[in-house]
Structure 1
Amino acid sequence: MNRIHAASLLLLALLISCQPTNKKLVDVDGNQYEVIQLDGVEWMAENLKVTHDREGNEIQYFIPDGDSTNIVTYGLLYDFENACKVCPEGWRLPTNEEWETLFNFSGDTNASNYKDTNFWKEAQNTNSTQFSARPTGIGNNQEHPNNFGENTLFWSSSIEDEHFIWTYILEKGKNNVRKASQHPTYAFSVRCVKASD
């Protein structure tokens, strides 16, 4: 093998090794999730669907619209107590600050950049961030409508007071992201961020 050919092979190998790769996150049940990096933070690009906490204990959860065929597509819904225990090792619930950086709360919270275009039938959706939010609705003991197909709420780790926890809400037909406090017994979607070292 001549030097030019060897140098070309080495350069090709270096170029291949520098290409971005799609990372996968695996939970304690063995489910795999797409991971994206936004503003220097690694986020799950899918809703969590684990049925055990980090220690392997069974937990309570709700199924979107009560239909088990929705789990693969929409993930599961968790009350706040369980939401705090389900992120894989090395990952955690995002804080208000992280959610607001993600959604650019200081400017125009353009929800279309975060909505999966296959699940929100609105012309303006782009999902340009690849965050791919889907309208999972909420989980509760049938005290209220579950709003499946209408909205999705994500838990924050930030607590408003001893009775309410902050959430971030994307809604059908609305191009802003809303922030609202919720009772911790309701069940919402979970996205995790990688814990900093």
Structure 2
Amino acid sequence: MPKQTLSAYSSVAIGSQVWMDSNLQVTCYRNGDPIPQVENPRKWSNSTTGAMCQYEGEKGYSKNFGYLYNGHAVNDPRGLAPEGWRIPEDSDWQKLIDFLGGNDRAGGAMKHEGVKYWKRPNSGAKNSNGFSALPAGFRSLYGDFRHLGLYSYFWSSTSFNNNCTSIKVLGYFDSKVIHTGGPAESGYSVRCIKC
């Protein structure tokens, strides 16, 4: 049975919180059950249970960007986050954002500096806290991939409305954090917070 490993994760203290400093890369739930890696667009779109993928199936993608997980995996009761960690709620994200200067400035503080991964101009990127957000893009509910190099999308565990779960978005063109919702069939990055 596969096991989750913590060896790939280091953490960073930001204010009173402790966050992983990279995106999640687990291939199984906390109990050892494997998470299906779904590459086929139609199977991804029709999935009603947890699934994960790499951007456009690129094998080296996860080394820098982690995996993209659908909302079913994020909310699975078997636990996507490794032992001692959890998927952040909106209140956790807001506490981080407030500590880093609010919605208009926190994105810059969270983004990895430079343009090795981010498209120019990567406005306001300072990575002043070690969060090191990278523009991993996302997988849509239709199974196609979008926005690699342009945006970071992070799941929250908080419901956004009847059909969506809350997500946080950082972009290459400003320092803002956008709060919106994503359907469970979409694939976004996961950044865990210490329990």
Q: Shorter-chain-normalised TM-score: which range?
A: 0.7 to 0.9
Asked whether the 8 Å contact 2:56–2:145 carries over to 1, the reply is: no
Letter in 1 for 2:68: L
Instruction: Show the counterpart of 2:87.
Output: 93
Instruction: Show the counterpart of 2:66.
Output: 75
Alpha-carbon distance in 1 for matches of 2:151, 2:123: 16
Structure 1 residues 175, 30: CA separation in 2 closer, same or farther (over 3 Å shift)? closer
The residue correspondences of 1:1-197 to structure 2 (distance < 5 A) are: 28-29=4-5, 31-59=7-35, 60-84=51-75, 85-104=79-98, 106=102, 108-117=104-113, 118-120=116-118, 121=120, 122=122, 124-140=124-140, 143-195=143-195
1:94 offset after TM fit, Å? 0.6
Asked whether the 8 Å contact 1:65–1:146 carries over to 2, the reply is: no
Alpha-carbon distance in 2 for matches of 1:58, 1:35: 24
**Matched residue count:** 169
Give 3-state SS (helix, strand or coil) of 1:103's partner.
Answer: helix
Letter in 2 for 1:89: E
1:123 offset after TM fit, Å? 5.8
1:31-54 alpha-carbon deviations (Å, 9 max, x no partner)? 421101112111111000111010
1:124-177 alpha-carbon deviations (Å, 9 max, x no partner)? 321001100000000246545421111111000110233111100001112211
Asked whether the 8 Å contact 2:108–2:123 carries over to 1, the reply is: no
Give 3-state SS (helix, strand or coil) of 1:32's partner.
Answer: coil
RMSD (Å) for aligned C-alpha atoms: 2.0
Percent of aligned pairs with the same residue? 26
Which protein has greater RCO, CA pairs closer than 8 Å, 6+ apart?
2
Letter in 1 for 2:153: L
Alpha-carbon distance in 2 for matches of 1:145, 1:57: 26
Gap regions ≥5 residues in structure 1: 1-26
Alpha-carbon distance in 1 for matches of 2:126, 2:161: 35
Alpha-carbon distance in 2 for matches of 1:62, 1:56: 18
Alpha-carbon distance in 1 for matches of 2:173, 2:134: 13
Bigger Cα displacement from structure 2, 128-137 vs 27-36: 27-36
1:88-147 alpha-carbon deviations (Å, 9 max, x no partner)? 012111111110111127563331111111422436321001100000000246545421
Gap regions ≥5 residues in structure 2: 36-50
Give 3-state SS (helix, strand or coil) of 2:68's partner.
Answer: coil
Alpha-carbon distance in 1 for matches of 2:155, 2:6: 22
Alpha-carbon distance in 1 for matches of 2:29, 2:145: 27
Asked whether the 8 Å contact 2:6–2:82 carries over to 1, the reply is: no
